[in-house]
C-alpha cells in the first residue's frame, strides 16, 4: 500500500484564488511528521510547511496552511491568494516513527499546480 497518496496529478487555479492540494497517508506509528515541498521547473525542492502528529493546531506559514485531519489521515495543503509563481510541482512527504530514529522521508507522486492569470 502507498504510504503517501496524492490523487490529483494536475490542478488549475485562477490567480488570487485559494487552492487545496490533497494528501492522505498511511502509517501505524503514533509519532510521525508530514511535510509539503514545492518543486519549480528548476528542480530544487523548497520546504513549505511541517505538521507533527501530536500538534494540536494546524500548521500555517504565510499563505500556506495545512488542513490536518488525523482521524482521516489526511494533510491537505491550502494555498491562499494564488500567485503566478506558485505554478510548480507539489510533493507531500512523511517521516515515520520517533524522530531520533532518523528523518528519512517517503514522498507522494506529486501534484502539478498551474496558476492561470
Partner 1 sequence: SAVISQKPSRDICQRGTSLTIQCQVDSQVTMMFWYRQQPGQSLTLIATANQGSEATYESGFVIDKFPISRPNLTFSTLTVSNMSPEDSSIYLCSGGQGIYEQYFGPGTRLTVT
Question: Which residues of this chain interact with partner 1, rule CB under 8 A?
Answer: 33, 35, 37, 42-47, 50, 52, 91, 93, 95, 99, 102-110
Looking at the Cβ atoms of 62 and 99, the one nearer to partner 1 is 99
Looking at the Cβ atoms of 46 and 81, the one nearer to partner 1 is 46
For residues 11 and 111, is the Cβ–Cβ distance under 8 A?
yes
- Min dist. Cβ of residue 117 to partner 1 (A): 26
Say how far apart CA 13 and CA 103 lie, in whole Å: 33
Count CB neighbours of 110 within 10 A.
19
- Min dist. Cβ of residue 83 to partner 1 (A): 22
**Percent helix / strand / coil, the chain, rounded to 5:** 5, 50, 45
List the grid coordinates of 102.
532518523
- Min dist. Cβ of residue 44 to partner 1 (A): 5
- Min dist. Cβ of residue 35 to partner 1 (A): 6
Amino acid at each position: 500500500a502507498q504510504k503517501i497518496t496524492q490523487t490529483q496529478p494536475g490542478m488549475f487555479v485562477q490567480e488570487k484564488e485559494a487552492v487545496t492540494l490533497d494528501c492522505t497517508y498511511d502509517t501505524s506509528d503514533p509519532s510521525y511528521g508530514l511535510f509539503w515541498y514545492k518543486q519549480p521547473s528548476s528542480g530544487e525542492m523548497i520546504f513549505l510547511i511541517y505538521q507533527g502528529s501530536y500538534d494540536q493546531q494546524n500548521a500555517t506559514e504565510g499563505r500556506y496552511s495545512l488542513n490536518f485531519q488525523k482521524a482521516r489521515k489526511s494533510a491537505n495543503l491550502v494555498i491562499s491568494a494564488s500567485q503566478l509563481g506558485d505554478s510548480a510541482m507539489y510533493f507531500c512527504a512523511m517521516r515515520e516513527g520517533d524522530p531520533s530514529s532518523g528523518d528519512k522521508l517517503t514522498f507522494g507522486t506529486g501534484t502539478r499546480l498551474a496558476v492561470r492569470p
